[in-house]
Structure 1
Amino acid sequence: MADLSKIRLFRMVHVENVPHILANGLTLAHSEKANDNYVPIGNMNIIGKRSLRNAPNGKTLNEFIPFYFWYKMPMLLVIQTGYDGVPVQNPENIVYCITNVERIIQSQIPFFFTNGHALIQISEFFGSDSAYLMEEILDFEAIKRLKWVDESDLDLKRRKEAEFLVEGDIPSNVISGWVVYNEKTKGRLIEFGIPEELIVIRENFYF
């Protein structure tokens, strides 16, 4: 049986969004607590498509807050390089919000997880009843691969981008830690009121 406290979840946000997260939690775009000054970092074309894909409960993907199961994901490379028209972001502007599956379960917020990128039709959805089978369902070897182009495995990138989808807003106390690129960003988070012991610098989490 999987130790769900050790299955970490990673969500990337712009550092300017952190004060709102501390005050209101991670919020959806249509939430009553939505951040009116939200700074996006993702691919807006992909974000738009998420409104067209349903989870098993009939809700669309944009009604969930997605997390990855690892760091240094393909989307981060897009964000840092500006691929496909995405505005380029300096890594010091990108912050990881960290939690784990056990904390989500304890918060009693509904969730699904997928065995690949949630927008790709062949990716399957699993509910909370399958959480303890997560290590068997997900390809963690693929998820943790730092390179995702493999001519002998054309499905590698899809499996690497498995998602953990939390329905609705997430209280800030569910976040267990923060990862930043350098001392400058760490200093900003401390100024925002985050205890220093909850912040770690991991340059290797970035490209």
Structure 2
Amino acid sequence: MTAFLKQENGYIFRIVHRENLPLVLARGLYARNADGSDPGYVNIGNLDLIGRRGSRSVPVRPGGVLNDYVPFYFTPLSPMAFNIKSGWNGITRRANDDILIFVSSIYHAIDQSLELIFTDRHAYLMTANFYRDVERLDQIDWVALRSKDFKKDPTNPERVERYQAEALVHRHVPLDGLKGVAVHSESVRADVQKFVDKAGTPLLVRTKQSWYF
């Protein structure tokens, strides 16, 4: 199920609330600090951490802070997705049918001339290494990502950090910077497909229950 998570594919994933679908189809994905961000956008996840990312500087070009970038993970089964499903640590719980998983790849983003960097672990951590060269994708822990195991381990304390490696696209991901969107059920797939068809975009819509907790 996770065998496709490997360096040569370079797939990246962003989870988005279903209510944001019309915005994404009309405008793509915007960074929190970008001029095109919409105040009506429904945020999910740890809002405190989202705010604190605005003070975490990015040490490589094009610089700025994390909130100048649209973040993706290298797996759909991220700790963030688990926390949203479970409501861990006070995070608002969301049903799987309320969550869309947008998919792109490092290589597709580059082909679309998007300015992209990536990290070897959660980008907010001061120990995170930032890269621009796709040859450094070998610094991603692909084995851990395929294992779906992000439990804390005192013998390997970096595992959960490295499992949360990020791809960061500067400012804006236009719709053609995305390859597809995954949903949890056939009923949602049919609904999302109607929106995609109306928008006139070739974005693929697939039901991927194994990408959800």
TM-score, normalised to structure 2, is: 0.89
Q: How does 1:114-193 map to 2 (within 5 A)?
A: 114-127=119-132, 130-134=133-137, 136-149=138-151, 150-193=153-196
Residue 196 of structure 1 deviates from its aligned partner by 8.7
Instruction: Please give the secondary structure, in 1, of the residue aligned with 2:37.
Output: coil
Distance in 1 (alpha carbons) for counterparts of 2:119 and 2:203: 32
Structure 2 unaligned blocks of 5 or more? 1-5
Kept in 2, the 8 Å contact 1:117–1:163? The answer is yes
What's the counterpart of residue 204 of structure 1? 210
Distance in 2 (alpha carbons) for counterparts of 1:205 and 1:84: 22
Kept in 1, the 8 Å contact 2:118–2:130? The answer is yes
**Aligned partner letter, 1:206:** Y
- Residues 92 and 196 of structure 1: is their aligned pair in 2 closer, same or farther, counting only changes over 3 Å? farther
Kept in 2, the 8 Å contact 1:4–1:101? The answer is no
Structure 1 unaligned blocks of 5 or more? none
Q: How does 1:14-163 map to 2 (within 5 A)?
A: 14-56=17-59, 57=61, 58-127=63-132, 130-134=133-137, 136-149=138-151, 150-163=153-166
Kept in 2, the 8 Å contact 1:5–1:101? The answer is no
Instruction: Please give the secondary structure, in 2, of the residue aligned with 1:154.
Output: coil
Kept in 1, the 8 Å contact 2:29–2:174? The answer is yes
**Aligned partner letter, 1:107:** Q
Kept in 1, the 8 Å contact 2:15–2:102? The answer is yes
Residue 67 of structure 1 deviates from its aligned partner by 0.5
Residue 124 of structure 1 deviates from its aligned partner by 0.5
Distance in 1 (alpha carbons) for counterparts of 2:149 and 2:23: 33
Distance in 2 (alpha carbons) for counterparts of 1:196 and 1:189: 13
Distance in 2 (alpha carbons) for counterparts of 1:69 and 1:108: 20
Instruction: Please give the secondary structure, in 1, of the residue aligned with 2:102.
Output: strand
Moved more, 139-148 or 80-89: 139-148
Residue 191 of structure 1 deviates from its aligned partner by 2.0
Distance in 2 (alpha carbons) for counterparts of 1:5 and 1:154: 27
Paired residues, what number? 202
Distance in 2 (alpha carbons) for counterparts of 1:45 and 1:80: 18
Residue 85 of structure 1 deviates from its aligned partner by 1.5
Residue 178 of structure 1 deviates from its aligned partner by 0.8
Structure 1, residues 2-21: CA drift from partner, whole Å, max 9, x if none?
x9772111000001111111
Residue 202 of structure 1 deviates from its aligned partner by 1.1
Taking only aligned residues, the RMSD between alpha carbons, in angstroms, comes to 1.8
Distance in 2 (alpha carbons) for counterparts of 1:44 and 1:66: 14
